[in-house]
Structure 1
């Protein structure tokens, strides 16, 4: 089991106190810690001189952490001022270190290579953050929006500091989990990035919105409706994210023995194999719980702070692309989120497609490519 960053920091602090030694301060966010070649599985076809960066960032509860990212360059010479940057926020791959994008690539989600390849062909370098705890020490606080925003911004800061061929101007683009991460990044990019980075806007597809409203219903009384294995896997990942972000909640105490077993398995298994195992076992979500999750005081407020998408405060344009046949996220809620942003006067543009969760990704390119081109002027 991976040792938590918090436990490691506590041990270091105690040891330093006993020995009367100074405790090393955390490196500034976005400091490059190491650079290494990418594995073939994690190398975007058509990219040049790609690399894996380890860099300083933060994880849940603002604890310092090391994060990782893949950096992909277009072939040829960079334009004057450097390659403009697409910060790629990937969708759900799992929680285990072996699931990390910069380790295993998109795995079975080959649509991502086609999608990222299009941005590469448009002349953008791509900085793909893994998120804290994926491929690096510590647990991954799945769907913790503030953590993901820090990780994405810090990856851009690290990459642009490491490579003079990268411009400081950048856009965040994400799908599914990464769509939510892109929205959070859009809200906080200017604040987190500071004046040294030139943030221009965001693209999010398959964005999971208002799932905090659904999660309050989790418990043993849920109807035994057959859901997709991916949906059950998402729930287990969210429970793990809550456990990491709010350890005081003792999430395990709300689960049955089977629930605790599946929770532990979800901490290591990538999405596709986890889904296969859940399907083979015929797991029903209600059977994972021994008592309702809404027994947690202020559960909805905690969930909103953890993964609820910000409804205001965006300072640059946001593109939302949504498949109308998408059942991985709650499509009516995503459309509601776009309507709320529009009603609040936020700079959002909504595009819909007659596609499912995966199909909308590449279908949206016909609209998002010119949108991003306009952001870069």
Structure 2
């Protein structure tokens, strides 16, 4: 179990470093404490800085630049695989235009499924909150490293991107709002990640020169599963013109409170701070309620996390417990439930209150040690009750080193995506308009 020292910046009482000054200011005044960014953050990459004015229509392409994908095997267009880094327009939760980054990999071979060539939008799993963690920065080699900040981010979506490319689909990977681009990444924000996914599909159609009738599939696991689940149920209202054929929502983060309760104390539990940072940034009233309940060490950790990737969390804050950064040493979830505004805001992140009008495959590991099985099952039940076309498949992988995430949470991703539950096969069938029962829950 980590000690409380883990959550304190390693500076002496008399230190005058920028981070120490920021922490001192935060301790002295409540205003803005929970969202104070680390002063040591690197300046944004020029590509990720949008122009002062850009097209406000969702899905508009703001700018692109060519990038190579060295991880791909040689293909019909040679090696490395050509791709484009993209800046496109999406919308925040208050419907303001915002620039979002991502990667577009055009098709390099024939489509191996039935029907017209589709677009597949990939919503990444948790990569972090720092700008350097964006998948679009790790796409070329599979790894982005920043020695100056001792920060590292792996491209967890390389396998799925290359798998769909090999099938002949167009692929778009979104970085989500605030990842790479100015502002904070609003981690697991139901509305904003749903917007980012659907607007990525619009941007892909614009880049490919195809219309909204282009067959579309959504692919996501963990944070990505929550993002695609949100996008699937928001699509009829937010992007009704899109020809969404099917969605994979693997281990979806459908109930944020349940997820916080499950991961508190496991290997990546400090990622809870990503969610708090994003929610507080969009909801200042939540900051006002929480500020007096967070310890100085907790404030310091929340500031650090704004500039960290998930690999940094594993190496710097493993097996953290939220009791160690609340003032009274009770779990953070207890406070979130007690505070009216915080409780309301967390509840608003719950997915399952709208109805998808296209088929959805939901998968979850019975023994998932990071994203609870029962809340994924509840999502499927909620959608089924509204008449949605849902297939829910359980993954029976037994518990392996509980709390260490990699076998318990990522094991089902490999099995469900490419193995027995075969999310790729499910989506290929939907893209080919093969019928599927209205609701199947195993």
- With normalisation by structure 1, the TM-score equals 0.82
Check whether the contact 1:84–1:170 (CA below 8 A) recurs between aligned residues.
yes
| 1:181 maps onto 2:236 in alignment | no
- With normalisation by structure 2, the TM-score equals 0.71
Tell me, in whole angstroms, the C-alpha distance in 1 between the residues paired with 2:136 and 2:301.
26
| 1:310 maps onto 2:352 in alignment | yes
Task: Describe the superposition over 1:234-259 as per-residue Cα deviations: whole angstroms up to 9, x where unpaired.
Answer: 21111112112212322444311000
Tell me, in whole angstroms, the C-alpha distance in 2 between the residues paired with 1:370 and 1:102.
26
Tell me, in whole angstroms, the C-alpha distance in 1 between the residues paired with 2:264 and 2:204.
44
Check whether the contact 1:55–1:68 (CA below 8 A) recurs between aligned residues.
yes
Gaps of 5+ in 2: 1-36, 40-51, 76-80, 144-152, 329-334, 398-407, 433-442
Q: Once the 2 structures are TM-superposed, how far is the Cα of residue 301 of structure 1 from its aligned partner? A: 2.5
Tell me, in whole angstroms, the C-alpha distance in 1 between the residues paired with 2:323 and 2:60.
44
Aligned with 1:67 (options 100, 120, 125):
100
Task: Describe the superposition over 1:206-243 as per-residue Cα deviations: whole angstroms up to 9, x where unpaired.
Answer: 1123232565x79xxxxxx982231x222111111211
Flag the structure with higher helix content.
1
Q: Residues 209 and 85 (structure 1 numbering): CA distance in 2 closer, same or farther, change over 3 Å?
A: same
| 1:349 maps onto 2:391 in alignment | yes
Structure 1 match to 2:218: 172
| 1:94 maps onto 2:128 in alignment | yes
Q: Residues 326 and 283 (structure 1 numbering): CA distance in 2 closer, same or farther, change over 3 Å?
A: closer
Q: Once the 2 structures are TM-superposed, how far is the Cα of residue 278 of structure 1 from its aligned partner? A: 0.8
Q: Residues 45 and 96 (structure 1 numbering): CA distance in 2 closer, same or farther, change over 3 Å?
A: farther
**SS across alignment from 1:237:** helix
**SS across alignment from 1:263:** helix
Q: Once the 2 structures are TM-superposed, how far is the Cα of residue 299 of structure 1 from its aligned partner? A: 3.4
| 1:329 maps onto 2:371 in alignment | yes
**SS across alignment from 1:38:** strand
Structure 2 match to 1:35: 64
Check whether the contact 1:72–1:125 (CA below 8 A) recurs between aligned residues.
yes
**SS across alignment from 1:142:** coil
**SS across alignment from 2:214:** strand
Please say which of residues 326-335 and 340-349 is displaced more in the overlay: 340-349
Number of paired residues? 345
Aligned with 2:342 (options 293, 299, 302):
299
Q: Residues 337 and 145 (structure 1 numbering): CA distance in 2 closer, same or farther, change over 3 Å?
A: same
Structure 2 match to 1:18: none
Gaps of 5+ in 1: 4-22, 219-224
Aligned with 1:128 (options 173, 177, 186):
173
Structure 2 match to 1:19: none
Check whether the contact 2:228–2:249 (CA below 8 A) recurs between aligned residues.
yes
Tell me, in whole angstroms, the C-alpha distance in 1 between the residues paired with 2:115 and 2:388.
30
Structure 1 match to 2:87: 54
Check whether the contact 1:88–1:126 (CA below 8 A) recurs between aligned residues.
yes
Check whether the contact 1:93–1:270 (CA below 8 A) recurs between aligned residues.
yes
Tell me, in whole angstroms, the C-alpha distance in 2 between the residues paired with 1:24 and 1:102.
23
Task: Describe the superposition over 1:56-82 as per-residue Cα deviations: whole angstroms up to 9, x where unpaired.
Answer: 112243332100111123323679996
| 1:198 maps onto 2:198 in alignment | no
| 1:371 maps onto 2:426 in alignment | yes
Q: Residues 110 and 129 (structure 1 numbering): CA distance in 2 closer, same or farther, change over 3 Å?
A: closer
Task: Describe the superposition over 1:18-76 as per-residue Cα deviations: whole angstroms up to 9, x where unpaired.
Answer: xxxxx9685211111111123657x6556742111101112243332100111123323
Structure 1 match to 2:278: 241
Tell me, in whole angstroms, the C-alpha distance in 2 between the residues paired with 1:298 and 1:165.
44
Structure 1 match to 2:310: 271
**SS across alignment from 2:127:** coil
Tell me, in whole angstroms, the C-alpha distance in 2 between the residues paired with 1:214 and 1:181.
14
